[in-house]
Structure 1
Amino acid sequence: MKKLVRHRLFWPIAALIALIVVNTIARPQFIGITIRDGELYGPLIDILRNSAPLMLVALGMTIVIATRGIDLSVGAIMAVSGAVALTIIDSSSDPGGMGTVAIALVTALLVALVLGAWNGLLVSVVGIQPIIATLVLMLAGRGVALLITDGFITTVTSAPYKFIATGYVLALPFALFIAAAAIAVVALVERRTALGVLTEAVGINPEASRLAGVRAKGIVFGAYVASGVLAGLAGILYSSNIMAADANASGLYIELYAILAVVLGGTSLMGGKFTIAGTVVGVFTIQTLESTILFLGVPSAQAPVFFAAVVIVVVLVQSPQLHRFMRRLTRRRRDDSNRTDAAPPAPSQIQTEVVSR
């Protein structure tokens, strides 16, 4: 039991289960799943589908944080990729054609890859601090998206493109399969090859890993490229869901939610050790919490306060320092109790026994 409690995923999973239990008690239909036209619907299915964009961004953020970096530009990359894809579809004579959609997707992902490579170049080659390097693109990226859309919200009508976010395959949302594929690829590359070990080595001590022969710059560069591509895919999902390229709203604050999901999952912001499974649990926790806020009818102006309060509680429950403090407190109380039980008789009791004899 102690080994189970000390596992890094125990408290993140416990927090997620607690949220699900609270929602189920408050509204039993929360865990209800219905079938309509061979497709699954319900609050849990909605959570799985709506978490796909955040899942993609959080996976990229996990890799970047593992290298002791940070990527604040993922929201802007989402805006740019969505703007590129919808602009290509809107300017085409056949917006509903599979060829047009395929060209739009490939172009959007290539642009996202270039933007991720730009971040990686600034961090790994030029040597700019990650928070500053990505902050540049965070501020400029939405301006680029506005330039692409001429400052307007571009809307299109394209059934193949809409299918990406709202379509169903095997009774489940297609977006869920995209997120699952991304999780599988990242987990396979980072946990079944030497790249994961090298990534952790770079995050723990970049200089020592460089002296040991690890190509630290290449690994850091690749981490930002992966983050850019995943953010670009998330931008495609977001724009496909609303069928519009909104440069101001696309990916707004998602970098903060992604960082929060990574931390809730147990990955340290100091770099080094990371957990893909923990990030997945963290994303589901955040999405479930958002569903809870909507159900409770918390006003939009007060929602961030409620969200922050719950997150603080979850973080405190997962805190290793708090766990150590509680163990020391419990051990101290146990020792005090043992001392009391084994305490020698008082002098007055000894004198009384001698007189009685």
Structure 2
Amino acid sequence: MNASAPVSTVRRVSGHALFWPTLALVVLLVACSVTSPGFADVSVRDGALVGQPVDILRNSVTPLLLALGMCLVIATGGIDLSVGAVMAISLAVSLTYLQGSADAGNPLTVLSAVVLGLLLGVAVGSFNGVLVTVLGVQPFIATMILMVAGRGIAMLITKGQITTVTSPPFKALGAGSVLGLPTAVVIGAVVFAVVALVVRRSALGMLLEAIGINREAARLSGVRSRRTTFTVYVLAGGLAALAGIVYGAPTMAADANNIGLFFELNAIVVVVLGGTRLDGGRFYLSGLVVGALLLTTIERAVIIFQLPSTTTNLFKAAVLIAICVAASPRAKQWLGGRRRPPSTPGSDPRRISAPDPAKEMSA
């Protein structure tokens, strides 16, 4: 048995993009369980699962939906800074529609409000796509326009007030349950599965990676880079709108000033933790689940460890820095040991050279 096999296996596992984020997630969950003995308890109440692990799953849906669209955009070498503002716009439109309707508790009225919010998210994503693909505006600048102006649009929709409604069907989108599971988790799982199937079971994923690696080479190879890039911006807008609806459904309130504030940064963090590089190319959808769970667990750990709420961002930054440093190429080289340069024939005195037939014949 080769003695170096276990060592090479450890190096290969530790070198995987998801090793350190997964390890950090496990460590945090164990630390929370030790600090709060009832942390891992899950029970059934009124036919639905309840418990802190269930809350973490539910709260992970919003960053997962945002990161799902962000990941596809980043794969093309772009960025979308407007997803937080899209959340605010979508929720503001849906709740304003419900507020003005005669029967906000009617499921069909709620469905119309949700569809209206999603369509607006798609429209915003189309606007970003046109700026990037047709007008040639850099993605950072193009999406920053709506990052700044989008929240103002939401304020205009809500007239600067916190819009609230009373609609049990709408609330169920974020606080209800389906077969015991939180409705938000079911929505997130279904959307993730559909996007993963479309991206990985068709040529779309390969086209996104080709565009992100070398856009000009992809174009010369026959890839319709403009159309593909436009599509992912539209998809990112729609997913951000859905995230806004799921996020605001439990409270049935839209605060245009605070809904989705800085959530675009959380989405980028989840994408990076999932192993996707910001310069485009190869992307990992499965890593988004780990990243979203880790981000939500960090926020819950601050409460369990009884740290001041003002230190949430500091604690989050400390964990993320530790993960990024551990996953850096220099750290991997240090942990895995320096590889010896390949030896040349004759450099090792213990090396036995093969006999030279020409010399033997001359002898």
Does residue 124 in structure 1 map to residue 126 in structure 2? no
Deviates more, 1:169-178 or 1:307-316: 307-316
Deviations 1:8-67 (A, max 9, x none): 322222221121112122222111111112211111000001111111001001001101
- Give the match's secondary structure for 1:301: helix
Q: Distance in 2 between matches of 1:37 and 1:243?
A: 21
The CA deviation at 1:102 is 1.1
The answer to whether the 8 A contact 1:113-1:225 is kept is yes
Q: Distance in 2 between matches of 1:174 and 1:301?
A: 30
Q: Which residue is 1:15 aligned to?
A: 24
Give 1:1-357 correspondences, 5 Å limit.
Answer: 1=9, 2-328=11-337
The answer to whether the 8 A contact 2:85-2:151 is kept is yes
The answer to whether the 8 A contact 1:12-1:266 is kept is no
Q: Distance in 2 between matches of 1:282 and 1:40?
A: 23
Structure 2: which 5+ runs fail to align?
1-8, 341-349, 351-363
State the AA in 1 paired with 2:167: S
Deviations 1:235-260 (A, max 9, x none): 11122121111101111111001100
Deviations 1:249-273 (A, max 9, x none): 1111110011001101110001000
Q: Distance in 1 between matches of 2:32 and 2:60?
A: 17
- Give the match's secondary structure for 2:49: strand
State the identity %. Answer: 51
The CA deviation at 1:232 is 0.2
Q: Distance in 2 between matches of 1:141 and 1:288?
A: 29
The CA deviation at 1:321 is 2.8
Q: Distance in 2 between matches of 1:299 and 1:7?
A: 34
- Give the match's secondary structure for 2:307: coil
Q: Distance in 2 between matches of 1:3 and 1:218?
A: 37
- Give the match's secondary structure for 1:314: helix
The answer to whether the 8 A contact 1:155-1:243 is kept is yes
Structure 1: which 5+ runs fail to align?
333-341, 343-357
Q: Which residue is 1:354 aligned to?
A: none
Q: Distance in 2 between matches of 1:286 and 1:131?
A: 24
After TM superposition, which residue ranges in structure 1, 4 or more long, deviate above 3 angstroms?
none
State the AA in 1 paired with 2:278: L
**What TM-score results when the alignment is normalised by the length of structure 2?**
0.89
State the AA in 1 paired with 2:312: A
The CA deviation at 1:186 is 1.3
Deviations 1:314-347 (A, max 9, x none): 2112223310233245x68xxxxxxxxx9xxxxx
Q: Distance in 1 between matches of 2:317 and 2:12?
A: 30
Q: Distance in 2 between matches of 1:145 and 1:175?
A: 23
Q: Distance in 2 between matches of 1:298 and 1:167?
A: 30
Deviations 1:62-111 (A, max 9, x none): 00110111100000000000000000000001111112111111111001
Q: Distance in 1 between matches of 2:121 and 2:68?
A: 15
Q: Which residue is 1:348 aligned to?
A: none
State the AA in 1 paired with 2:75: A
Number of matched pairs: 332
The CA deviation at 1:279 is 1.1
- Give the match's secondary structure for 2:80: coil
The answer to whether the 8 A contact 1:57-1:234 is kept is yes
Q: Which residue is 2:346 aligned to?
A: none
- Give the match's secondary structure for 2:259: coil
The answer to whether the 8 A contact 1:200-1:271 is kept is yes
Q: Distance in 1 between matches of 2:321 and 2:132?
A: 31
Q: Distance in 1 between matches of 2:16 and 2:319?
A: 22
The answer to whether the 8 A contact 2:302-2:309 is kept is no
